[in-house]
Structure 1
Amino acid sequence: MATPERYYVPAASIWPIVGAVALFLIAAGAGATVGGLFGGSGPWLLLAGTVLILVMLTGWFRDVIRESMQGLYSAQMDRSFRQGMSWFIFSEVMFFGAFFGALFYARFIAVPWLGGASNNAMTAAVLWPDFVAQWPLTLTPGGIETTAMPAMGLPLLNTLILLTSSVTLHIAHTAIEKNQRERLKGFLLVTVLLGALFMFFQGEEYVHAYQEMNLRLDSGVYGNTFYLLTGFHGLHVTLGTIMLLVVWLRVMRGHFSPEHHFGFQASAWYWHFVDVVWLCLFVFVYIL
């Protein structure tokens, strides 16, 4: 009789609850910062949540890496990791799908409705007499005027950066499968640096939008959808860059082999997903 394949069950961990607390602090801190709540303590809550989430990621990554290097994971465990990562990316697709859905609703349903479409001229005249049914909306009901973010400039540059990072990451992936360690180290590091460069330029874009274009979170539905989509995508780029950085540090320590490198593969899946989301975002938010 063949020996059944063993399945490693890790010990109880504190990291899930630590991550939940960190996410709560981040959400509460971000809301309090934007809304001016809790006596101005919002930024401190946001900082505490960010620090705690970094502690959680460090501890959890450390435990999983230690278990993997000790040979505790079987082929069945590897399949479980792949299934888990696949479902996680699917949940992220649904997450961004909700925000893109909000954008499409505002643009193709709410804006024409306010403009008098579908025999709604009388209601539209009462709700917003001076409304002009065009997208993007550069005038809010409160009279705030803003400017739409153009596709050229930093957004196009960031698109080229992310597309290049997908190429460099694919080269690194090919290198690990062929056990070309030096090639792997170089191209993976370039991918991490491109991710950091993307985040830097997105920060520059936000500063420009706030200071020179009057494009803010309170700039009507256009400002809301713009910052929701680009902001959450930037958060995902940040997480993806951290994941790839951890993978690069592991590569520098001699981890992974052509046969066993799912940690690298999972990070690559995530990064390519983030790149695809940005392409959709670039088209529907910046161009159309």
Structure 2
Amino acid sequence: MAANPTNPTTPATSTNPIGPTNVPDIALADGNRIPQIGLGVLRIDDEAVSPVVESALEAGYRHIDGAAGYNNEGGVGRALAEAGCLTGENRKRLWVTTKLRDSEQGYDSALKAFDRQLGLLQLDYVDMYMIHWPTPFDWRSGDTWRAFVRLREEGRVKTLGVCNFLPEHLEKLHAQTGEYPAVNQIELHPTFQQREVVAFCEEHGIAVEAYSPMARGADLNAGNGVIERIATAHQVSAAQVILRWHIENGTIIIPKSVHAERQRENLDLFSFALDPDEHAAIDALDGPTRAGHDPLTFTYA
């Protein structure tokens, strides 16, 4: 188990649109630091996403995880504008991720896509740009990565990442470009821990970011009530137990919620800790079944 992060940020002042937070940062291999907890915005339509992002900022989120494929970058941009987070110190305190649509992979197409995405977000730069899926049946990650490197050199992207890459895809990308991503965002939760992928990432200095950290809610009832029993012992929710397990593993997490109260709950993970037996009991829930898609066959066109 990785050591717990111990570098909480300084709470925001009352004049800052981002609320007070004690969420630590994770140091990345490229020298940047990413808030360990972010807000995921998958399956929230463009109109509905703006108030969701605004309430998350008020709750203390400093990390928003989006994508072209979510079709809501415009709404995210409007929320950032409304909160005064497009420029200046407010922008510097915020980490914004977006991802390239799979159908726009390639060198020229990625550069063109990024221009459109940046315009929708109303930003001068994004903190992380990611290849959304490896699409091994139509591999263009090498050419795409070269476009990403150009964007980084131009200062329009700080960190380069990938999503859903298996070790074989990471090796192929490295062979073609001489570089590993700083972050690999993968499906990861107690009943699907992807230990081989995680071990490869740890060996090569790639930070692991978990989407669907609770298996879209299915893992709240995993293990014949083991999660609920741990939650009762700590007087917290089952969701907080699972998210705390991720935190203690050193994983970056992007839980999604459209409700302000639940958003605050998902940040409140630092007033308790799992004991070794509780952590081991969650480790033991690992299984072979995904809640989402297989990166060997899926494309987010």
TM bracket, shorter-chain basis: under 0.3
Rg: which structure is higher?
A: 1
RCO (CA 8 Å, sep 6+): is it higher in 1 or 2? 2
TM-score scaled by structure 1? 0.27
